[in-house]
Amino acid sequence: MTDLNAALENIQRAAWLKRPAVRAVFELLDGDQGHVRAVGGIVRNTILGDPGGDVDMASIFTPDEVMARAEKAGIKAVPTGIDHGTVTLVVEDEAIEVTTLRQDVKTDGRHAEVAFGTDWEEDAKRRDFTVNALYVLADGTLYDPLNGVQDCLDRNVHFIGDAAARIEEDYLRILRFFRFFAYYGSGRPEAGGLKAAAKLKAGVRGLSAERVWTELKKILSAPDPSRALLWMRTTGILALVLPEGEKWGMDAIHGIVAAEEELEWEIDPLFRLISIIPPQADKAKALAERLKLSNSEADRLVKWAMVTPIAPETSNSALEQFLYWGDQAAILDRLRLDLAALRQKLKQDQNMDLMAKIGALHQHMEKALDWTAPVFPLGGKDLIALGVEPGEEMGKILKALEQHWVDEGFQPGKDVLLAKAKAEHLA
Ligand SMILES: Nc1ccn([C@@H]2O[C@H](COP(=O)(O)OP(=O)(O)OP(=O)(O)O)[C@@H](O)[C@H]2O)c(=O)n1
């Protein structure tokens, strides 16, 4: 476990703190006087020993002042979120968001109305969690007004001030609570935050589909999201954002996480989603529409839901037929899912039958991964040459010949197929 000294050292040594863009922004906005500071995810992640992510900064200067200074210094500045006081500065291809300190004035639960401020503690207090209210100054010292470092070290995702009030400012914070718990939490989520999240959960209904899906994807991308998902289910929050996953085997996710680790599968949030919803095309479609998944995400989900499960006993030739007529990616998803489930089962019940099934599924997966569909050697032109009129009938003949070719293990060549066409279809 990281201790305080190691955490502070992580910051002093952080490579991002020395990057030209970060130095340029510190210089532009009087970093030596503490008027601009790195904040948010990058600081949190660095303390926890995983210094990845974009560098976001906060500053006492108004967006106009930031723009004016950037222009004078020849730094590219784009007003990317001017309503929220955000200007993006670009130096040597690195984009850094600089947001003016804020004080909240009014809120409707989704969008806080903000006034610019110059008080760092005030800015810290209007953020969501203590672990996100950490600032790094130009010289690498830490400003931690709300004891966020200790909460990082204790793996405690702790709302700032009154949890309910923080949530009412932005209901997305309910999902962020579970996201940060998934990544950094240990034990149980903090009781006060959990209670407030459960009580105010109806508020997530008012969030845009895009924000919910983006956040859900981040939860599903955590090294092990299973505990967070279980708490979301216990509090009834999962039922609101993902009703399909409510009664379905949440246990599957354990098998997936284990298989990812043991078989070095890449973490794939959509695959994890697949594992916790039932394989029903109508449900998959409804989910994709409700959460506004991208076309490729929706396509993958629906195709997976429609694919026929492939039993371990399936013969090689039957598998080839599945692969030829079906969707390779969906079949692979199906195989991976079943494999992960069987491997999990084997941990409780070491029996030969299970081992044999797992071995067979491994082989099916190898085959499916290597699969390139053979090309059917016949086309419409070949039948026209035999005197068949183009049209529906020709389509039927071609389909029948193709089916025969597949059934025969893709072996019959063009001549054999043409002979069959003459004998059976053109007599
Ligand atoms: N609903 C929100 C969203 C963000 N923030 C604050 O804005 C910072 C930046 O937000 P964002 O970039 O969305 O998230 P990060 O915490 O930086 O995490 P990541 O970059 O890993 O998504 C957060 O750290 C937090 O201080 C907040 O208080 N409430």
Cα(136)–Cα(66) distance, integer angstroms = 19
220-234 pLDDT, tens digit each: 999 999 999 999 999
Among residues 187, 184, 162, 171, which one has the least CA distance to residue 240? 171
* Neighbour count for residue 243 (Cβ, 10 Å): 15
Average pLDDT over residues 49-78: 94
Q: Which two tokens stand for residue 82?
A: 């001017």
pLDDT in tens, 218-272: 999 999 999 999 999 999 999 999 988 767 767 889 999 999 999 999 999 999 9
Q: Residue 405: which of 379, 368, 372 has the closest Cα?
A: 379
Residue-range domains of the chain with CATH:
1-154 (3.30.460.10), 307-370 (no CATH), 380-425 (no CATH)
Mean per-residue pLDDT, 373-395: 90
Tell how strand 56-59 and strand 76-81 pair up: unpaired
pLDDT in tens, 147-168: 999 999 999 999 999 999 999 9
Residue 311 or 114, more confident: 311
pLDDT at 27: 97
Residue to mutate, 102, 104, 127, ligand 1, most ligand atoms under 8 Å from C-beta: 127
CA of 55 to the centre of ligand 1 (A): 11
Q: How far apart are the first and last CA of the chain?
A: 80
**Which atom of ligand 1 has the smallest separation from the CA of 45?**
21
Sheet holding 135-136, edge to edge: 76-81, 86-91, 94-100, 56-59, 36-39, 135-136, 142-143
104 pLDDT band (50/70/90 cuts)?
Answer: low
Give pLDDT, residue 106. 63
Rounded percentage of the chain residues whose pLDDT exceeds 70: 96
CB-defined site of ligand 1, < 6 Å:
40-41, 53, 56, 127-128, 132-133, 170, 172-173, 176
Q: What is the pLDDT of residues 177-214, one digit of tens each?
A: 999 999 999 899 999 999 999 999 999 999 999 999 99
- The dihedral through the CA atoms of 246, 252, 256, 262 has a sign that is positive
Q: For 11-37, what is the mean pLDDT?
A: 95
**Predicted TM-score (pTM) above 0.80:** yes
Return the percentage of the chain with pLDDT > 90, whole number: 81
176 Cα: distance to centroid of ligand 1 (angstroms): 9
Q: What is the mean pLDDT of the chain?
A: 93
Helix (H, G, I), strand (E, B) or coil at 416: helix
Pairing of strands 94-100, 56-59: parallel
Instruction: Determine the distance separating the centroid of ligand 1 and the alpha carbon of 126, expressed in angstroms.
Output: 11
Q: Tell me: pLDDT of 351 over 80.
A: yes
Q: Decide if pLDDT at 6 tops 60.
A: yes
DSSP state of 76: E
Q: What is the mean pLDDT of residues 172-177?
A: 98
Per-residue pLDDT, 111? 62
* Residue 57 host element (H or E): strand 56-59
Distance 132 CA to ligand 1 centre (A): 7
Compute the average pLDDT of residues 379-401: 89
Q: According to the model, what pLDDT value does residue 2 have?
A: 58
The pLDDT assigned to 3 comes to 85
Calculate how far, in angstroms, residue 40's C-alpha sits from the geometric centre of ligand 1. Answer: 6
- Residue 1 banded pLDDT, cuts 50, 70, 90: very low
* Distance of alpha carbon 298 from alpha carbon 319, whole angstroms: 25
